[in-house]
Amino acid sequence: SLTWHAEAKTDLGDIAVYTDEATVEKLSKDFFWYSPVLDAKLKDKKADAIFAPRDEREVEAALAFAFRHRIPVTVRGAGTGNYGQAVPLEGGIVLDLSGLDAIAEIGDGYARVQCGVKLGSLEKKARETGQELRIYPSTFAKATVGGFVSGGSGGVGSITWGNLWDGNVLSAVVYTMEERPRRLEIEGRELYDYIHNYGTTGIMTEVVVPLAKKTDWMQVVAQFDDFEDAVRFGETLARNGDIPKRLVTPIEWPLPSFFKPLEKVLASGKSVVFAETADGTLPQLAVLAAAHGGGIGHVIPAEKYRKTIGLSDFTWNHTTLWALKADAAYTYLQAGFDPALYMEQLRELKRLFGDELLMHVEWVLAGGRLLPNALPVVRFASEERLYHIIATCRSIGVEIYDPHTWMLDNGGRGAVNGMQLRKSVNDPLGLLNPGKIG
């Protein structure tokens, strides 16, 4: 590998190449440590070098170089993924694309951006034009558009707009890993071979995402003595077509006790629903909350949107982050409940596991159906116990998208068969993020 380092310096022109220990170490990791299972298996993996291209031409040159030398390439956006997606299992090059950060165009109903643009910056720019992102992960401040499309699934906004697969990517420019990398323009159904692909079937340099009309969002905490009441209120609100919304997250006590920055404004012992709804909808929410045996607690008015810590910073997988800050023994699962049976399923899991599993529900309009997904926070005892919990969930009809594996086959939602076929054409030597697709 020393030879290709030397050659890289001359052969690659202006592309920034880093081989120092600190940079390599830092850019070889993502947030896999949320999983004690992955942490044990991935903490020592690292790249031989980091390449940081600044434009498409440099990406193409880096890929051609890697192909010529048969070097594995693992792409990195911001490295906030949780499954070790961005960890180079077989070393080689980590291609840091955070430098491709130009917003090319914000049009009427869409934005065309380079892959390294941060979702938070794009949302800010879009709002200046009277528009906003449809969906984004709770990590939007740091996460990149390319990383979200290639390694995420959904988040804030998914209650109205669905996941990545629900028309939330319009097109993408993709490079293949061949002697002469091809530049593909992908749209429509073919995007399914690239969405949530972990960079295994091609490298996305540019993405077009749809934008929604801007709404002024207020943030509301509704509070309940009983978690089931919180969940029922959540469902009623989720299904209410008159209240525009971005977020509806019922959260079981004691999870709110972990939210230190909100300590002063959350009532002790109460389960909550964190909601982002259109400005002016507070009276409707108050009526709904009362009808479910609860009431309105803390409210962040629309004028304060993004000017204080937001409620979404405690939802989606941020809930796990706050739990981990309170106690390093926590980890999490990703669960899909049956919309017709979910209350019984929640009750059964509570009966079997008590506080070993703490629930928060994330409503998602996936494939046109409103589904109660959840990211249960789990008190970790052992890998064996974790897989016992997973097996139990599956045995009562709760789907688990296992976040304790880096394999696309187990954790992903695209059609992996199609991806394998695409990969054999686009990456004939299997150099793109090896070991992630079975």
Segment 175 to 194, residues that bind ligand FAD, using CB under 6 A: none
Closer of 115 and 288 to ligand FAD (Cβ): 115
Residue 46 binding ligand FAD, by CB under 6 A: no
- Please state the φ and ψ torsions of residue 334, each to the nearest 5 degrees: -120, 120
Closer of 224 and 332 to ligand FAD (Cβ): 332
CB of 284 to ligand FAD, least distance (A): 26
Residue 143 binding ligand FAD, by CB under 6 A: yes
Taking alpha carbons only, the member of 163, 219, 259, 201 closest to residue 408 is 201
Residue 357 in contact with residue 349, Cβ under 8 Å? yes
Residue 72 binding ligand FAD, by CB under 6 A: no
Taking alpha carbons only, the member of 275, 269, 274, 273 closest to residue 257 is 269
The full length of the chain comes to 438
Closer of 306 and 347 to ligand FAD (Cβ): 306
Read off the tokens for 242.
Answer: 């008159």
Q: Residue 111 carries which side chain, given as an amino acid letter? A: A
CB of 287 to ligand FAD, least distance (A): 29
Closer of 72 and 151 to ligand FAD (Cβ): 151
Residue 330 binding ligand FAD, by CB under 6 A: no
Segment 77 to 116, residues that bind ligand FAD, using CB under 6 A: 77-82, 85-86, 97, 115
Q: Which helix (H) or strand (E) holds 392?
A: helix 383-395
Closer of 202 and 244 to ligand FAD (Cβ): 202
**Judged by CB under 6 A, which of 292, 433, 434, 437 binds ligand FAD?**
433
Tell me the per-residue interface mask from 203 to 222 with ligand FAD, x by CB under 6 A, - otherwise.
xx------------------
Q: Which helix (H) or strand (E) holds 62?
A: helix 56-68
- Please state the φ and ψ torsions of residue 344, each to the nearest 5 degrees: -65, -40
The strand ranges marked E within 178-303 are: 183-187, 203-213, 217-224, 245-251, 271-278, 295-300
Partners of 75 in beta bridges: 95
Number of chain residues interacting with ligand FAD (CB under 6 A): 38
Residue 123 binding ligand FAD, by CB under 6 A: no
Read off the tokens for 32.
Answer: 């896999």
Residue with tokens 């984004």: 136
Between helix 342-353 and helix 383-395 the angle, nearest 10°, is: 150
- Please state the φ and ψ torsions of residue 302, each to the nearest 5 degrees: -55, -35
Closer of 35 and 281 to ligand FAD (Cβ): 35
Closer of 147 and 162 to ligand FAD (Cβ): 147
Residue 373 binding ligand FAD, by CB under 6 A: no
* Residues sharing a CB contact under 8 Å with residue 183, sequence separation 6 or more, in sequence order: 56, 60, 173, 174, 175
Q: Which stretch binds ligand FAD (CB under 6 A): 179-187, 312-320, 378-386, 390-398?
A: 312-320
Residue 74 binding ligand FAD, by CB under 6 A: yes
CB of 136 to ligand FAD, least distance (A): 8
Terminal CA-CA length for the chain: 26
Closer of 135 and 349 to ligand FAD (Cβ): 135
Residues that bind ligand FAD (CB under 6 A): 30-31, 74-82, 85-86, 97, 115, 137-139, 143-144, 146-148, 150-155, 198-199, 203-204, 316-318, 321, 433
